[in-house]
């Protein structure tokens, strides 16, 4: 099929920053894009060929949107799976597939999938409700995770006593053993319908202590080569087990004895791959596009060390966004800001990121610290 400068239409469910960065590469290839998002102020709304406002969990909305396109993908997991399945049954290509998404969208099902496929993961127990967990909870501490619709620290809580369970939603959940880990790592794997797959280098993630949100993504991870290879091997096994098409971000723990445990996956471009826009031969967004269009995959290696700094709304600030000191960080070598186009800020909301590239990973990390301390995302 001729995708380029033609009548071919690519549909994207979700119009946030991931979709916006994907559109940069569809524009490069002159691929027509249709985007659906609940907000008429979504970052994609100005950049898609056609933008539609609607509920991503509503069957009719997703189905009717999907009937207009040739290939359908998504930048957020919270979409109506039944509509995706019906579209696939009627010949629309959906990548990743409804079957893959169904295994990932629910964290309890996702964790059980790892056990069934002999993929290493932290021990856990599934519960149909919070009340069921409360009746069984005696092995503190553990990590409570909502089975559905958790993201960026939402739907995840460290439980040190029964009091910590108060106020949580009474929904399906898992209680996961707390792992004393050395590092949180991620590997992005890309796979096309022909089964060709490529893994990006292992990245290391540094988290905000309170928000449970990534502050820095460091590539390459500062770990032993043998551990890095083990992480890549596990990520490739996860990818093959899911038989996914497109990008799959595999988040992992490196334990104190250098074992690799899979935490969770995201079947789409991911925060842990933003560094690739400046640092890799092929960015994660171009790679996702190549995969879902069944084109040859690009080189996933890095040209240079890269660090990504998340720009999130400052605490105590809600309202119209104001970015302070971006001009100051532009004076630093190898620094590229990406502003997502969200008009309203609130504490810890992802508003943008900054990439730092340098031949020396330690220099890049020092500049990243300076960037973090200089830019302020506040309300005007």
CB atoms inside a 10 Å sphere around CB 214? 26
Q: For residue 334, which phi and psi values (nearest 5 degrees)?
A: 75, 20
CB atoms inside a 10 Å sphere around CB 8? 15
Q: Any binding-site annotation on 179? A: yes
The set of residues, in sequence order, having a beta carbon less than 8 Å from that of 216 and lying 6+ positions away, is: 205, 206, 307, 308, 309, 310, 365, 368, 372
Q: Any binding-site annotation on 263? A: yes
Q: For residue 209, which phi and psi values (nearest 5 degrees)?
A: -65, -30
The rounded distance, in Å, linking the Cα atoms of 179 and 189 is 24
Is the peptide bond preceding residue 62 cis, with omega within 30 degrees of 0? no
**What distance, in Å, lies between the first and last C-alpha atoms of the chain?**
48
Q: Any binding-site annotation on 178? A: yes
> Are the CB atoms for 199 and 300 separated by under 8 Å?
yes
CA atoms within 13 A on the CB side of 269: 31
Q: Any binding-site annotation on 145? A: yes
The rounded distance, in Å, linking the Cα atoms of 208 and 349 is 13
The rounded distance, in Å, linking the Cα atoms of 1 and 110 is 34
Alpha helices, H only, 175-247: 225-242
- Ramachandran assignment for 195, one of left (phi > 0), alpha (psi -120 to 50 degrees), beta (any other): left
> Are the CB atoms for 42 and 342 separated by under 8 Å?
no
Q: Any binding-site annotation on 90? A: no
Q: Any binding-site annotation on 176? A: yes
CB atoms inside a 10 Å sphere around CB 183? 19
Binding-site positions for ATP: 107, 145, 176-179, 184, 263-264
Binding-site positions: 107, 145, 176-179, 184, 263-264
């Amino acid at each position: 099929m001729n995708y380029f400068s033609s009548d071919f239409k690519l549909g994207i469910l979700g119009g946030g920053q991931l979709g916006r960065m994907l559109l940069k590469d569809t524009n490069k290839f002159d691929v027509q894009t249709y985007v659906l998002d609940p907000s008429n102020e979504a970052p994609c709304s100005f950049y898609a060929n056609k933008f539609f406002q609607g509920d991503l969990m509503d069957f009719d909305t997703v189905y009717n949107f999907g009937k207009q396109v040739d290939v359908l993908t998504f930048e957020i997991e919270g979409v109506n799976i039944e509509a995706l399945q019906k579209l696939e049954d009627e010949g629309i290509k959906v990548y990743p597939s409804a079957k893959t998404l169904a295994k990932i969208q629910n964290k309890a099902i996702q964790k059980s999938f790892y056990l069934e496929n002999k993929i290493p993961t932290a021990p856990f127990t599934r519960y149909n409700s919070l009340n069921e967990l409360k009746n069984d909870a005696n092995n503190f501490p553990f990590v409570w995770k909502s089975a559905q619709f958790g993201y960026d620290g939402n739907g995840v809580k460290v439980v040190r006593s029964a009091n910590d369970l108060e106020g949580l939603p009474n929904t399906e959940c898992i209680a996961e053993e707390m792992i004393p880990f050395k590092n949180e790592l991620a590997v992005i794997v890309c796979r096309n319908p022909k089964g060709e797959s490529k893994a990006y280098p292992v990245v290391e993630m540094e988290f905000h202590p309170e928000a449970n949100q990534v502050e820095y993504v460091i590539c390459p991870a500062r770990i032993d080569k043998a551990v890095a290879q083990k992480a890549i091997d596990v990520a490739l096994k996860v990818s093959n087990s899911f038989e996914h098409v497109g990008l799959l971000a595999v988040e992992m723990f490196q334990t104190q004895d250098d074992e690799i445990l899979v935490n969770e996956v995201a079947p789409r471009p991911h925060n842990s791959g933003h560094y690739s826009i400046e640092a890799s031969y092929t960015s994660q967004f171009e790679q996702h596009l190549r995969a879902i269009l069944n084109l040859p995959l690009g080189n996933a290696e890095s040209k240079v060390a890269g660090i990504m700094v998340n720009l999130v709304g400052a605490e105590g600030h809600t309202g119209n966004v104001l970015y302070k000191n971006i001009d100051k960080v532009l004076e630093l070598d190898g620094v590229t800001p990406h502003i997502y186009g969200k008009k309203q800020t609130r504490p810890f909301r992802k508003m943008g990121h900054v990439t730092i590239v340098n031949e020396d990973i330690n220099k890049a990390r020092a500049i990243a610290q300076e960037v973090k301390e200089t830019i302020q995302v506040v309300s005007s």
